[in-house]
Amino acid sequence: MSHLILVRHGQSEWNLQNRFTGWVDVDLTAQGKLEACKAGELIKDLNINISYFYSSYQKRAHETLKLILNTMRIKNDKILKAWELNERHYGELTGLNKDEMKKKYGEEKIFKFRRSWDIPPEPLSKNNPYHPSNIETYNDIPREKLPDTESLKDTYERVIKYYLDNIKNNLNKNILIAAHGNSIRALCKYLFDLDNQIISKLEIPTGNPLLITFDNNNVKEAKYLDFSRAKDLIKF
């Protein structure tokens, strides 16, 4: 048997401010750093050897993984960073307060933008400072790969392509991925064969490792390591 551990980054500054973050590269809060360290303790208690470590390009995920590895006393020079594991791009909603947008457009419309399968928000202008082309973190990504907006379907397609091309063949060993709510949601949709309605309801808690156990490349079990903050839509 082998294990895949998925961890959504700890609370970020824009999580705290209830803003649509997407591809904007924001830091962890103090609470987010504590969540990452707690995740490290929970993973350490599993007493398993982890061979591969992946994170998105975004520092909230990368710093979460570094704090986890520091807690586990593992050198962080083995981290593989992939922009394909980045959070979903929220288009013109980027940077806006979620509650204010619900008041302006209505809760149903904002929910559709946030959780629908294939409805993206309107594109973010390339002149906007929050556009990926204006963020230094993404300078080495080909310009044509940088999105202006994404649906969950768009996010799923890039995440799963990267998973199939770069991660799946390593599942004979234990793997740890630090990523984001929507990139982890995409992985869960693929791994657990969730339909488009269920995936829209799936909540991914910050800093709570999801341990997925494989037997001959088939998912055998999945559980959150922090039971007090577990979400209960994945059942085995």
pLDDT in tens, 98-121: 888 877 777 777 777 666 899 899
At residue 100's C-alpha, the angle toward residues 97 and 103, to 5°, is 150
Phi and psi at residue 152, to the nearest 5°: -65, -35
What does the pLDDT average to over 189-198?
91
For residues 57 and 82, the answer to whether their CB atoms sit within 8 Å is: yes
Write out the DSSP string of 106-156: -HHHHHHHHH-SS-PPPPPPTTSTTSGGG-GGGTTS-GGG--S---HHHHH
159 has a pLDDT exceeding 70 = yes
Q: CA 221 to CA 223: how far, in whole Å?
A: 7
pLDDT at 233 exceeding the cut of 60: no
Return left, alpha or beta for 207; rule: phi > 0 is left, psi -120 to 50 is alpha, else beta.
Answer: left
Rounded distance between C-alpha atoms, residue 30 and residue 35, angstroms: 9
Pick the catalytic residue: 3, 9, 131, 180? 9
Instruction: Give the DSSP letter string of 197-229.
Output: HHHHH----BT--EEEEEETTEEEEEEES-GGG
Percent of the chain with pLDDT over 70: 96
The answer to whether 180 is a known catalytic residue is no
Quick one: pLDDT at residue 236? 42
User: Can you give the C-alpha Rg of the chain in angstroms?
Assistant: 17
* pLDDT per position as a tens digit, 18-49: 999 999 999 999 999 999 999 999 999 999 99
Q: What is the pLDDT of residue 44?
A: 98
- Could you report the per-residue pLDDT of 57-102, keeping only the tens digit for each? 999 999 999 999 999 999 878 899 999 999 999 999 999 998 888 7
Q: Which pLDDT tens digit goes with each residue over 45-64? A: 999 999 999 999 999 999 99
Q: Are 219 and 189 in contact (CB under 8 A)?
A: no
Q: What is the arithmetic mean of pLDDT over 178-202?
A: 92
The more confident residue out of 231 and 131 is: 131
pLDDT over 90 (residue 235): no
Predicted pLDDT at 110: 73
Residue 138 near residue 57 (C-beta atoms within 8 A) = yes
**What is the mean predicted confidence (pLDDT) over 175-197?**
95
Hey, which residues does 222 pair with through a beta bridge? Answer: 212
Set out the domains of the chain in order of their start, with CATH numbers. 12-34+50-147+165-185+194-211+224-229 (3.40.50.1240)
| pTM for the whole structure | 0.94
> Which of 35, 63, 84, 87 is flagged as catalytic?
87
Verify whether residue 87 is a known catalytic residue.
Answer: yes
- 186, exposed or middle or buried, with CB in 10 Å at 0-12, 13-18, 19+? buried
- Decide if 167 contacts 53 (C-beta within 8 A): no
Count the neighbouring beta carbons within 10 Å of the beta carbon of residue 217.
Answer: 10
